[in-house]
Structure 1
Amino acid sequence: MKYHIMPVTKFRQNCSLVWCEQVGEAALVDPGGDANWLRQEVAAQGVTVKEIWLTHGHLDHVGAANELAAFYHVPIIGSHRDDETLMASIPGQCQMFGIERIQPLIPDRWLTDGAKVSVGKLSFEVLHCPGHSPGHVVFWNKLAKFILMGDVLFNGSIGRTDLPGGDLATLMHSINYQLLPLADDITFLPGHGPMSTIGHERHTNPFLARN
């Protein structure tokens, strides 16, 4: 598995490109904006985008999804259907943040807990981790010990819950019962900021309850 991290927009959201080295097929994950630049970055890697994967429906993670799906002629996958209202409200999110209007988003496929997504010979398990948003999912590659985390858990922090659909108790339940049971040596890429590991956050993150 190879990946390339591309922070986008003023929110510095970690859009990522993950691909199978054996066949050169890729998934573009959480393309929150800067579509033209993302196209250049993808072209520089010499891979073929086959799908767009979304962790959740906030503007900074989905802002360029429709445009890039049309450009690459690929489906949009995710998040969980509980984010349907959030994705329908994208024009309102644009207005809230003073961004040019973007059309509502309707994924080609909603995801459920335990579902699988794949690109080339890579396979990721879907974990439904609500709290930051109702339909938030993360993508876990067990073989590579790697998670595309979105805005659930960060290096030294956790996802904010003061946006529509957010709930702190739900977020902590997701972290405690979906993520912390996983092995310490799993690396994750959060939606913003530097990478970390489950173990590092278990032992140092001030927002996580000590067990």
Structure 2
Amino acid sequence: MQRRTFFRYASASAAAATILLTTSCDDDDDDMTPPTSGVDLGSGDSGILNYAYALEQLEAAFYTAVVAQSGSALTTAEMQVMMDLKNHEVAHREFFKAALGQKAIPALEVNFSSINFNDKNSVLQTARTFENLGVAAYNGAGKLFTDTGVGLDYLVLAGKIVSVEARHAAAIDDMISGGNRFGEEFIDSNGLDRALMPADVLSAAAPFISTKINFSNLPK
């Protein structure tokens, strides 16, 4: 996918939202011992791209399921938001897949057994979790890029993606609260959003991903 094509998708009109991330850890906390088997994300900048690709696969799969299964739980306006989110996350997923080429990890198997797609609260709370987790993941991963050339280009693009994810998060919060909140619990006293390292992010995402992920070679 050419960069201009990605921008067209990522900049498309979006209403979207965020949800409560239940991990409670410091930004630089990386205590989880990485598994050394399973799908290997790789190392260096390609490893970070695969990390983002894995998360975008999860989000794209979730919103695809929502659009297919939650018609009775959501209003027409709410479903339109979900369709917008699905289109954005699919675009993000396909961008990383194309950028990685032969280095891309295979499609991951997801596990949404804990989600009731016929229940509005279950759908929105899961969406809030995924969107806020995505924002924290991009915020934490940016500093891990090492290549001052290509890596800088991807860092700029990641900044554009995380801003879309944050719009998603705010939209979901708006749908949950009726416009009375905006995820302020994710913002620290310096006015900065949460940043999480890959170990914490993948630990939080693990219940929704059946495929075992080896992230032991990612930059620290």
TM-score normalised over the length of structure 2 = 0.29
Instruction: Give the number of the structure whose residues are more often strand, by fraction.
Output: 1
Higher relative contact order (CA 8 A, sep 6+): 2
